[in-house]
Amino acid sequence: MLSNYVSMPALRLPSLPGRKPVLSSLVLAVTFALYLVAGLSVTSVEPVGSARANVPQHLPVIPGLGTPPTPEPLQFRDVAPQQAVQINAAIPVSDLPNPAARPFAVAFATPADRLRALECLTAAVYYEAAIEPTEGQRAVAQVVLNRVRHPAYPKSVCGVVFQGAERATGCQFTFTCDGALSRTPSAAGWARARRVADEALAGSVYAPVGWATHYHTNWVVPYWSSSLVKLQNVGTHIFYRWEGGWGKPAAFRFRPSSSEPQIALMRRLTSDPSSLADAQELVPAVDPAAAAAAAAAAAAANPDVTIPVPAAGNLAGVVAAQTSLANRAVVRRYVPMTREAAVAATLSQTVQPNSQLHWALSGLPEKPQGALGKKPPEAAAAPAPAPPSCLDGVRRLPAGGAGTPEKQSC
């Protein structure tokens, strides 16, 4: 009996139908789940950056895309406005799909954070597009909110608007570093820009510009314009997005920050000064002597631009102005001019200048005028007109004006 048990064939379990496909599917499902968890964890990580601006300095590697591109300062090619219009027109609008952006949604930590976001976005809309139609202002607001959700930019509205305002490499929006904030906005214009900003933060989407992250006015040519995808013309602005995957909806996966930095440059514009109680100045203090030396060097390097050089012991009001010249490159949008020089420069670029255009630009007549009822000095001193020449067949009185008129014979 024992020998029979020993000689029995080996016990085999019955084979399960479809065993291999089930195991393969299980392995694939586990791999996909791990990949999904890793992707979600990357999107939820807030890059390490400045505590004031939430700037992502150590950008994460995004699966399938790599490291995000680095935004460049707004620098322009040296071309005349008329030539810039021609260059921009030569770049065709892309025929690639241009899907609308998702509505902006964020739960702000406090009402003060929401107010800071609203006023920073309002400032961008006003100073970048105050004279644009409502569509143009909505497009500018859309670009700001698109950047907030892109891994290449800060994760807060104020961080995006004032990105680079404190760095030596230049700012992203020129109004934050060219002195434009010193101009007090008009009440009506600010209220209009605030309405556009409020609607955008509430989820309003301006679909024609899609996921645009760049724009510029039609009369300038930034160095980066030819390397991006041209999406749309709205008003006097041209809108672009990144090429490749970085300009597609999947790249805009970062959640906006619930807190907004306190920007000292917004103190003149805020409706609630307490919301900026802890704001820090972006430009560090400079020794007065160093500021005076920087002013003198800037004046020597720019002989055509009037730059005040303070005298010893009279540095009040000049130190702050020269700080930016000493510590960071300022993108100049215009060069200071006298009214007469500005009028002359505009007339020189006009095809057919006339006295009406001169009056519209300067408020003054093209030539000096005398007092009412009196001839201008040059008219009073003008020589008497020469007597008419002989006209054949025309009757003429004899000398002295008396007698019968006689026909002239020339």
> For 327-379, what is each residue's pLDDT tens digit?
444 444 444 456 677 667 666 666 566 666 666 666 666 666 666 666 655 55
Segments making up each domain of the chain, as ranges: 81-276, 283-340
Of 189, 239, 253, give the one whose Cα is nearest residue 210. 239
Most confident of 72-81, 196-205, 273-282, 396-405: 196-205
Q: What is the mean pLDDT of residues 227-249?
A: 92
pLDDT band at 227 (very low <50, low <70, confident <90, very high): confident
Distance in angstroms (rounded) separating the CA atoms of residues 372 and 223: 55
pLDDT at 284: 42
pLDDT band at 141 (very low <50, low <70, confident <90, very high): very high
- Percentage of residues in the chain with pLDDT exceeding 70? 52
Among 54-68, 111-125, 152-166, whose mean pLDDT is lowest?
54-68
Asked if residue 141 lies in contact with residue 148, where contact means CB atoms within 8 angstroms, the answer is no
pLDDT at 78: 83
- Percentage of residues in the chain with pLDDT exceeding 90? 37
Distance in angstroms (rounded) separating the CA atoms of residues 97 and 280: 43
On average, the pLDDT of the chain sits at 74
Distance in angstroms (rounded) separating the CA atoms of residues 6 and 263: 88
pLDDT at 37 over 60: no
Could you report the per-residue pLDDT of 12-34, keeping only the tens digit for each? 544 545 455 666 677 677 666 66
User: What would the DSSP string read from start to end of 327-350?
Assistant: HS----S-----HHHHHHHHHHT-
Asked if residue 213 lies in contact with residue 247, where contact means CB atoms within 8 angstroms, the answer is yes
Distance in angstroms (rounded) separating the CA atoms of residues 144 and 167: 19
Identify the helix (H) or strand (E) that includes residue 357.
Answer: helix 355-362
| The two structure tokens encoding residue 163 | 């990105």
Asked if residue 105 lies in contact with residue 252, where contact means CB atoms within 8 angstroms, the answer is no
**Greater confidence, 177 or 267?**
267
Residue 343's CB is within 10 A of a number of other CB atoms, namely: 20
pLDDT band at 303 (very low <50, low <70, confident <90, very high): low
pLDDT at 199 over 80: yes
Q: What is the mean pLDDT of residues 383-391?
A: 64
Q: Tell how strand 214-217 and strand 237-241 pair up.
A: antiparallel
pLDDT at 125 over 70: yes
Angle between helices 187-201 and 111-129 (to 10 degrees): 120
| The two structure tokens encoding residue 233 | 């013309």
pLDDT band at 41 (very low <50, low <70, confident <90, very high): very low
Number of Cα atoms under 13 Å in the Cβ half of residue 377:
2
Asked if residue 127 lies in contact with residue 175, where contact means CB atoms within 8 angstroms, the answer is yes
Q: What is the mean pLDDT of residues 209-238?
A: 92
**Greater confidence, 380 or 223?**
223
Question: Under CATH, what is the fold of the domain 81-276?
Answer: Arc Repressor Mutant, subunit A (1.10.10)
Distance in angstroms (rounded) separating the CA atoms of residues 162 and 160: 6
The per-residue b/e assignment along 20-29, b for 16 or more CB within 10 angstroms, e otherwise, is eeeeeeeeee
Distance in angstroms (rounded) separating the CA atoms of residues 133 and 236: 10
Residue 157's φ and ψ, nearest 5 degrees, are -65, -50
E-assigned strand segments in 183-326? 214-217, 229-234, 237-241
Angle between helices 319-327 and 288-301 (to 10 degrees): 70
Please name the residues in contact with 26: beta carbons below 8 A apart, sequence gap of 6 or more: none
Of 149, 148, 150, give the one whose Cα is nearest residue 162. 148
Q: Which residue has the tokens 């008219």?
A: 379
Distance in angstroms (rounded) separating the CA atoms of residues 247 and 253: 12
